[in-house]
Amino acid sequence: MAIRFDDKVAIVTGAGGGLGKQHALEFARRGAKVVVNDLGGAVDGSGGASDAANAVVEEIKAEGGEASQMALALQTKRAFQK
């Protein structure tokens, strides 16, 4: 029996690549609506671009899932109040 996430929303940080991307894709395959959160910066925290996150969103949509992209630092409670 597979674990399902139908009618749930999964916010996946760092989902533009690596393990975050794999988690986002698997949540979507299991029915979750996925928010792909990635600042798109370099490993040292510099820069920022939404290209990787947008590519993951498009991949999820191409597989029939629902996803949106967000570039927001989530380390504070204030980030969630926007």
- Integer Rg of the chain from CA: 13
The CB density around residue 14, as the number of other CB atoms within 10 Å, is: 17
Q: Is 32:10 a contact under the CB 8 Å cutoff? A: yes
Query: Per-residue pLDDT tens for 13-67?
Result: 989 999 999 999 999 999 999 999 988 766 666 667 788 899 999 999 999 999 9
**DSSP secondary structure of 13-80:** ETTTSHHHHHHHHHHHHTT-EEEEE-----TTS----SHHHHHHHHHHHHTT--EEEE----SSHHHH
pTM of the prediction? 0.82
Q: Can you list the domains of the chain with their CATH numbers?
A: 9-80 (3.40.50.720)
